[in-house]
């Protein structure tokens, strides 16, 4: 049972981290739509959508996909990074960065 408990605890912890780290909550709400976890919750991915205001000539709010990854050692959060959207995801290293 302990394995199941840590799995669900890690998912909840990751969802909380995503909500806490999302910078545009006031202007573009984030809605969490799903999550998935690796064996024993060592890696958790949380998926969602961001409701973005329409840009002319559009008149409807559009949903922008969002995702973040949390890594854990047992139940301790050891890493967090945005996977999408691009404005939140870390930029890949280029030859110029080295």
State pLDDT tens for residues 29-58. 999 999 999 988 899 999 999 998 888 888
pTM for this model (two decimals): 0.83
* Mean pLDDT for the stretch of residues 85-92: 87
The answer to whether residue 95 sits within a structural domain is no
DSSP letters, the chain, are -HHHHHHHHHHHHHHHHHHHH-TTTTTS-EEEEEEEE-GGGSEEEEEEEEEEPP-TT--S-EEEEEEEEEEEETTEEEEEEEEESTTTSPPPP-GGG-
Q: What is the CATH number of the domain that holds 61?
A: 3.10.450
Domain range for 85 is 2-89
The answer to whether residue 8 sits within a structural domain is yes
In total, how many domains does the chain have? 1
Cis previous bond, 85, omega within 30: yes
């Amino acid at each position: 049972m302990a394995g199941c408990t840590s799995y669900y605890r890690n998912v909840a912890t990751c969802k909380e981290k995503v909500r806490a780290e999302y910078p545009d909550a006031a202007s573009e709400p984030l809605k969490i739509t799903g999550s998935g976890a690796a064996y024993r919750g060592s890696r958790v991915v949380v998926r969602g959508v961001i409701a973005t205001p329409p840009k002319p000539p559009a008149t409807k709010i559009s949903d922008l996909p969002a995702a973040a990854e949390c890594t854990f050692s047992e139940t301790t959060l050891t890493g967090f990074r945005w996977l999408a959207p691009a404005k939140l995801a870390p930029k890949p290293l280029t030859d110029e960065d080295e």
